[in-house]
């Protein structure tokens, strides 16, 4: 296993697989098709799609019409990727920042989607 895979595997388990699986569930079929076509990095799924999911904790519902503040999406909670990930990011050797970057969130979601697709029949 590569260091990249090790990192996102650890984050996957610390973040809580159930929450991550809910986020990427709509992309499992597309992920499976991408992997079947040889796209191991899932780059045939537009980056904007991954970014949208990675930011979905606050962006999915748009701003409140009354006050203009961003509203949390109740599917993911108001604090995506969550306290567990922030704590992991502080403690693990690969991170010293208090939160995950957008790129790290995308990688974590891609890891989760690929894992789910593998469970659907992709070796």
pLDDT of residue 61: 44
The span from the CA of 89 to the CA of 91, in Å, is 6
Pick the range with the lowest mean pLDDT from 15-29, 37-51, 77-91, 108-122: 77-91
Number of C-beta neighbours around residue 17 at 10 A: 13
Is the pLDDT reported for residue 79 higher than 50? no
Residues 90-109 have pLDDT tens digits of 555 444 444 677 788 899 99
**In the chain, domain spans:** 3-119
Q: What mean pLDDT is reported for the chain?
A: 74
Is the pLDDT reported for residue 88 higher than 90? no
Is the pLDDT reported for residue 27 higher than 50? yes
């Amino acid at each position: 296993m590569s260091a990249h895979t090790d990192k996102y595997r650890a984050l996957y388990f610390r973040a809580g697989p159930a929450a991550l699986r809910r986020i990427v569930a709509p992309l499992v079929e597309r992920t499976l098709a991408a992997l079947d076509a040889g796209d191991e990095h899932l780059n045939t799924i537009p980056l904007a799609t991954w970014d949208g999911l990675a930011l979905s904790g606050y962006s999915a519902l748009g701003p409140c019409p009354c006050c203009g503040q961003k509203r949390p999406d109740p599917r993911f909670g108001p604090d995506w990727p969550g306290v567990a990930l922030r704590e992991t990011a502080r403690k693990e050797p690969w991170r010293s920042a208090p939160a995950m970057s957008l790129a790290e969130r995308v990688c974590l979601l891609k890891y989760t989607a690929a894992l789910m697709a593998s469970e659907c029949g992709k070796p």
